[in-house]
Structure 1
């Protein structure tokens, strides 16, 4: 009797705590995993097809297994342990030709669907090259994350995809694991980074690192992301403005502002960098806080830094009326709020200290919802990629 394997895995999104825009100019950025996740299920099936179900982007495709196997054998070499050795542009060009051949309307699909398919087959052929599938496959990925809103949805997708396919490859070799090792995660992150290059061109690596390892990640241009295994458990309200924004346009506007007012903008960037470093120092000592009052002081410091950071970013022109509306509602209840990511819309994050009465949180959530915003009560510092039962 044939054995049919099944892999389930999930990975979190992320928010930027500090360092938005200043990171482009060599300053420190801090990202942290958020309690919203993408989940993947890959299972072998009897049908000789390759089923792709991505409801988050409205993508559902069924492809002949014969076509997949023919392309797998054409690729000849597996780069399962060394994605960095894969000739990225050459491999991606071959994937592009393949998906255009098998998906009749590929060129008319929205960019998010095109990139999802590119990433999927990039990893499939990179890992399983030279080896045909004996059984059909069904791949389903669902997500709590809003696509393209700055919470690392593409990285979470890529980490899920890479992690599950790598585990499937292990199972097919007779290797069963119940928990991902550090080496497993490092390899997953490398594959996910390659996928991020498909989506973003020149990614920093902070999104896939945060999604893979969880907790808190620091980044500085030209350096490897730094992992900090800190059990934060920071409670926030993650508020979706529903306003789309283009990161490239916002970043270009900041650059133009700097060209016109270099000394002033330099001072703003230095101040944002100082805030990021100060916040990092507080967060590194967070778990050792005195629960009899010390924790309240730490939250007060963090709140002050959040408010200052937001105002500095607003001075660069990257806030939005929707973000200011959210912030006004939060400040009226004594709660710190800042934009996260590129700004210009996207998300705001509201810090909820442990001493905050639930009635205040409920009241704020109700008011924000009435304004048309989507509010999620969640935790920062959640686990990275995990195998699910």
Structure 2
């Protein structure tokens, strides 16, 4: 073990524009959501590996020797990041007691943790004993990148502990970022965790968690946008459950049934994403003006209408848009739709009384609502002084 203790965090993810259209080759903008997942790793000498998932009241502990037996005879392939090691995956599924098609939140988290832990530390000598505690501000299963934030934190902490990436020096705010090569390695290991959880992920969520800011996703290519502004938002969870798979299939069926109608809709969504990208670039290269925010608000309204046309709206999301518009604020769904979450843009000069009244209105609808921001930093290394008090108090118990 190269470090005795480290604390890391990674942000969640929202889709600013391009939901569903991205499946059909159009541009999407994915953005970091400043609700973060925090992880504390601590080296121990008791011969055990422990994980504490505080949000779901899960504590598990294994003997190091027990985990050592899960490693394949040849460990060379475990360092490959091109694909998962099939033999280790099978052994872990048997060990955890799950089938590929029946993974709950607890099982997915355990599988991702054990896979990255075993692969990173596989080699000559014994596996290290350690304790990992994790707490998140992100709701699970809401399409906000909670699993990716978890995987990014795991990768950053375990790679730091193994010495594969250095512990970066903290800046004046007591947080630090890794260099580009180290971030690339963290992202690739986080993608392995996402593969364990989702099977065939796009890689967008873990890239957002690693680099933060805003990423352009088009036909499998992920491009970070440089110098983007941080945007204040309200994030609202309608708490209406939905199936992403069913919603994606529904959009595809509509496109097949009405190609002459739906193709222009997809082209327009693509144009919304590209226009938003240009507007954000203009906001960083020149002074932000009220006109910039007016453009962003209009694009939000246009894209929301397009998503309704695609068939992924929901009465709960319609109500969210009506409630916020009554306060002069503009909202759209984010993610798969059909319920789930929505984002509401806040201008810099939006009065706090308006924000609080809107939050109260939305909570009165039975929704969860937070004021947060988009476009903040990706994975960070923390000193204890820079961790949110609530997170620190929970993490330091373990």
Fold-level similarity (TM above 0.5): yes
- 1:83-122 CA-to-partner distances (Å, cap 9, x unmatched) read 22x554343223223434xxxx899985222211111111
The structure 2 residue matched to 1:193, chosen from 167, 191, 195, is 191
1:340 is matched with 334
Give the distance between the partners of 2:293 and 2:100, measured in 1 at CA: 50
How far has the Cα of 1:3 moved from its partner?
A: 9.2
2:160 is matched with 167
Pairing of 1:81-92 with structure 2 (within 5 A): 82-84=80-82, 87-92=84-89
Give the distance between the partners of 1:368 and 1:243, measured in 2 at CA: 14
The 3-state SS of whatever aligns with 1:313 is: helix
Provide TM-score, normalisation by structure 2.
Answer: 0.89
Give the distance between the partners of 1:47 and 1:199, measured in 2 at CA: 29
Question: Quick check: 1:60 aligned with 2:59?
Answer: yes
Give the distance between the partners of 2:127 and 2:188, measured in 1 at CA: 27
1:30 is matched with 29
Give the distance between the partners of 1:314 and 1:383, measured in 2 at CA: 31
The structure 2 residue matched to 1:314, chosen from 293, 305, 308, is 308
Give the distance between the partners of 2:349 and 2:6, measured in 1 at CA: 41
The structure 2 residue matched to 1:363, chosen from 357, 362, 365, is 357
Q: Is there any run of 5+ residues in structure 2 with no aligned partner, and where?
A: 170-176, 384-398
Work out whether residues 2 and 162 of structure 2, in 8 Å CA contact, stay in contact via their aligned partners in 1.
no
Question: Quick check: 1:93 aligned with 2:86?
Answer: no
How far has the Cα of 1:66 moved from its partner?
A: 1.7
The structure 2 residue matched to 1:328, chosen from 322, 326, 330, is 322
How far has the Cα of 1:196 moved from its partner?
A: 1.5
Coordinate RMSD, CA, aligned: 2.3
How far has the Cα of 1:63 moved from its partner?
A: 0.9
2:286 is matched with 289
Using the TM superposition, name which of 188-197 and 91-100 deviates more: 91-100
Using the TM superposition, name which of 297-306 and 203-212 deviates more: 203-212
2:387 is matched with none
> Could you say if the C-alpha distance between residues 40 and 75 of structure 1 is closer, same or farther in structure 2, counting changes exceeding 3 Å?
farther
2:367 is matched with 373
> Could you say if the C-alpha distance between residues 4 and 26 of structure 1 is closer, same or farther in structure 2, counting changes exceeding 3 Å?
closer
Give the distance between the partners of 1:50 and 1:198, measured in 2 at CA: 19
1:147 is matched with 140
Give the distance between the partners of 2:2 and 2:90, measured in 1 at CA: 34
The 3-state SS of whatever aligns with 2:29 is: strand
Using the TM superposition, name which of 223-232 and 106-115 deviates more: 106-115
> Could you say if the C-alpha distance between residues 73 and 257 of structure 1 is closer, same or farther in structure 2, counting changes exceeding 3 Å?
closer
The structure 2 residue matched to 1:119, chosen from 94, 100, 112, is 112
Give the distance between the partners of 2:262 and 2:332, measured in 1 at CA: 19
The 3-state SS of whatever aligns with 2:141 is: coil
Question: Quick check: 1:383 aligned with 2:377?
Answer: yes
- 1:259-302 CA-to-partner distances (Å, cap 9, x unmatched) read 21111111111111110000000011212332xxx521000000
How far has the Cα of 1:73 moved from its partner?
A: 7.5
2:208 is matched with 210
How far has the Cα of 1:57 moved from its partner?
A: 3.4
1:299 is matched with 293
Work out whether residues 19 and 28 of structure 1, in 8 Å CA contact, stay in contact via their aligned partners in 2.
yes
- 1:212-231 CA-to-partner distances (Å, cap 9, x unmatched) read 0000100012x420011324
Give the distance between the partners of 1:181 and 1:168, measured in 2 at CA: 17
> Could you say if the C-alpha distance between residues 318 and 108 of structure 1 is closer, same or farther in structure 2, counting changes exceeding 3 Å?
closer
2:173 is matched with none
The 3-state SS of whatever aligns with 1:235 is: strand
2:348 is matched with 354
Pairing of 1:243-262 with structure 2 (within 5 A): 243-262=240-259
The number of residues matched between the two structures is 376
- 1:138-187 CA-to-partner distances (Å, cap 9, x unmatched) read 1111111010101111110110111110000018x9x6542411111101
Give the distance between the partners of 1:241 and 1:210, measured in 2 at CA: 23
> Could you say if the C-alpha distance between residues 4 and 14 of structure 1 is closer, same or farther in structure 2, counting changes exceeding 3 Å?
closer
2:218 is matched with 220
Work out whether residues 72 and 130 of structure 1, in 8 Å CA contact, stay in contact via their aligned partners in 2.
no
Work out whether residues 296 and 355 of structure 1, in 8 Å CA contact, stay in contact via their aligned partners in 2.
no
Provide TM-score, normalisation by structure 1.
Answer: 0.91
Question: Quick check: 1:278 aligned with 2:275?
Answer: yes
- 1:321-353 CA-to-partner distances (Å, cap 9, x unmatched) read 111111101111111100000001111100001
Work out whether residues 323 and 345 of structure 1, in 8 Å CA contact, stay in contact via their aligned partners in 2.
yes
How far has the Cα of 1:132 moved from its partner?
A: 4.2
> Could you say if the C-alpha distance between residues 98 and 132 of structure 1 is closer, same or farther in structure 2, counting changes exceeding 3 Å?
farther
